[in-house]
Chains A and B, each alone.
Chain A
Amino acid sequence: MLRYISKRLLYILMTLFLIVTVTFFLMRAAPGGPFSSEKQVPPEIEKNLNEFYGLDRPWYNQYFDYLVSIAKWDFGPSFKYKGQTVNDLINEGFPVSFFLGMESLLLAISIGVLLGIIAALNHNKWQDYTAMVLAVLGISVPSFIMASILQYFLAIKLGLFPVARWESLQHTVLPALALAATPMAFIARLTRSSMLEVLSNDYIRTAKAKGLSRGQITVKHAVRNALLPVVTYLGPLSAQILTGSFVIEKIFGIPGLGSHFVTSISNRDYTTIMGVTVFYSILLLVAVLLVDIAYGFIDPRIKLAGGKKGE
């Protein structure tokens, strides 16, 4: 187990190194610099700025310095927010994004799984059809449209929730729902099909032959096994919620890391773009690792030994 984890951590480091390198050179390859903007900066000032941020030095020096500082968890100063480092931005924005992400994750999993189970238990009945129509809608409607729909109906028409901003728990509901809609629909479909598969297994018949009730069979034998594929999906799901948060945070005016990221892209705020990209990568890689470890605990057939699955 320890061996497995250390091996995985090593892979994560290697992946990170690649990501840092690729983002670094992509950023350099992109046209325009942080200080070339609509408003012309006098050439002397631009020279000074470049000197101050070390942009005049050869690329390999810049690259090496960047690697070292990242290893020290220092993402450097922001090019656009005066006097703020990228670390400041992350420390400030991430808790907000984290809260939003977790809330959506919980919503997506709990409602998605519930819908999937209800649909499977009522296979080919109206509950099944309703849940699956909802799921298709959830998958096909993009989150920014979902956000506007929710804002229009639940906030403007019915006045149940605030339209935007980030002040109280009330404010978090709509953005979390908008962000959760697509993953929720995915999870519902995944749970349904996996549940149907599990219900057709011989051991479900065995459970019935033991005299267990429908409820007992569902809870003790079916759901647990049906959720295994859903657990696998949690990795990609985190990624989906992360990227979804960029748009949603912008729409709802939420001061999270996602909206900082989007702003920094339009600002050509290189250090912020790179810093946040690396930070998100770490987050995702760790999430995937956690999912895999969790999977090993849930499914006794999988042994986490030396990176090989199975016996």
Chain B
Amino acid sequence: MEKLLEVKNLEVSFQTYGGEVQAVRGVSFHLNKGETLAIVGESGSGKSVTSQTIMRLIPTPPGKIKSGQIIFNGEDLVKKTDKEMEQIRGKEIGMIFQDPMTSLNPTMKVGHQIMEVLIKHQKMSKSAAKERAIELLRLVGIPMPEKRVNQYPHEFSGGMRQRAMIAVALASNPKLLIADEPTTALDVTIQAQILELMKDLQKKTGTSIIFITHDLGVVANVADRVAVMYAGKIVEMGTVDEIFYDPRHPYTWGLLASMPSLDSDDQTELAAIPGSPPDLTNPPKGDAFAPRNPYAMKIDFEMEPPMFKVSDTHYAATWLLHPDAPKVEPPEAVKKRLRKLSSNYEKPVVVKESE
């Protein structure tokens, strides 16, 4: 598998009146060509900041990339100037945002907003760009694209707008598509359609996708691998099967337990994780999840857990994987779905810092 993107030890902070908000605190992950990685986590866990940092879209100041590398196509995006990034944004990396109602310019024709990308990156003429915009609208499933291309966003429904946004993001055949909660603002039926469309387009174009969501339910549908984020860190990462059938981090357990599942009719309580995420101006010493973690041990409040490797693809940062940790049972809702995965190592292995 060829790596398209590799984020190494990324740290991003915002300077605010209340102090320095450490939104992303050492995130590392990679993305292979043609693969879909889902990033899940509660609100404020740093998903958007991480993805917008890849595009270098965070406002600086107050934002600042404190350390780390973002290797995209062999080049470090952190080192690029704003001018150089213009050749990456929209061309190599496309982005879809959460709210299709506000993400399109209300006073510009939808077609024109697609054409802008084509004219800028593909150096197309106006008329060629318009032809292509119509084609793209058709591709994303908008009926009567010849007419729609001349309409304004307010003449589109929410789902149609998100389709148009996808057309904008894919106009230049980017190698990477970042979708930041693309379906959160939409009705459930429309959500499913948009997800279907994205999968379909990925098959056709071979784009890699980073799919951000706080809804684990949609993840199983779209992703190959999943990264679970909490308080600016990735706490667990693995293939979809590993995360769903063999989760190791108590936070992932919490997320899974609070996910309504289709296969179980019994109305076991949807246990939302009690408590709230820590204040990232003063991240706690030790494991940031410890105060909300029913399985927390003394060491969780003292020292941050290292990354443990459970299989070639499965990582989790929890002291529970330490050889000396007591054996604990995950919550009932999670236990029901556990499966033995053959790819697992005999024993979890600590990942060295330098790796």
Are A301 and B154 in contact, with the CB atoms below 8 A? Answer: yes
Q: Are A301 and B89 in contact (CB under 8 A)?
A: no
B55 A209 Cβ-Cβ under 8 A: yes
> Can you name the residue of chain A whose Cβ is closest to the Cβ of B56?
A208
Whether the pair B154, A300 counts as a contact (CB closer than 8 A) is yes
Is A32 an interface residue when CB atoms closer than 8 A count as contact? no
Q: Are B57 and A211 in contact (CB under 8 A)?
A: no
Q: Please state if A225 and B102 are interface contacts (CB–CB under 8 Å).
A: no
Q: Size of chain B's interface in residues, with CB distance under 8 A?
A: 32
Q: When the two chains form their complex, are residues A205 and B97 in contact, meaning their CB atoms are under 8 A apart?
A: yes
The 8 Å CB contact of A211, one of B87, B97, B106, is B87
Partner of B107 from A202, A212, A216, A225 at Cβ < 8 Å = A225
Cβ–Cβ < 8 Å partners of B90 in chain A: 209-212
A210 with B116: in contact, given A300-B152, A301-B106, A301-B152 (CB under 8 Å)?
yes
- Contact string, B115-142, partner A, CB cutoff 8 A, digits 1/0? 0110011000000000000000000000
Q: How far, in angstroms, from A34 to B103 measured CA to CA in the complex? A: 65
Q: Which of A218-260 contact B (CB under 8 A)?
A: 220-221, 224-225, 228
Taking A211-B120, A211-B121 as contacts, is the C-beta distance between A298 and B107 under 8 angstroms?
A: yes
CA distance A202 to B101 in the complex (A): 9
Interface residue B175 (Cβ < 8 Å from any Cβ of A): no
Complex alpha-carbon distance, A209 and B97, angstroms: 10
Please tell me if the beta carbons of B106 and A220 are within 8 angstroms of each other in the complex: no
Q: B257 near A: Cβ within 8 Å?
A: no
**A62 CB-CB contact with B under 8 Å:** no
A207 close to chain B: CB less than 8 A: yes
Contact A221 B103 (CB under 8 A): no
Q: Which residues of B contact A201 (CB under 8 A)?
A: 102
CB neighbours of A203 from chain B (8 A): 102-106
A220 touches B97 (CB 8 A): no
Pick the residue among B86, B102, B104 that contacts A213 (CB under 8 A). Answer: B86
Excluding A206-B168, A211-B121, 12 further A-B contacts by CB distance (< 8 Å) are: A201-B102, A206-B95, A208-B89, A210-B120, A210-B168, A211-B120, A212-B86, A212-B116, A214-B82, A220-B116, A228-B107, A301-B107
Measured CB to CB, the residues of B under 8 A from A are 55, 57, 82-83, 85-91, 94-95, 97, 99, 102-108, 113, 116-117, 120-121, 152, 154, 165, 168-169
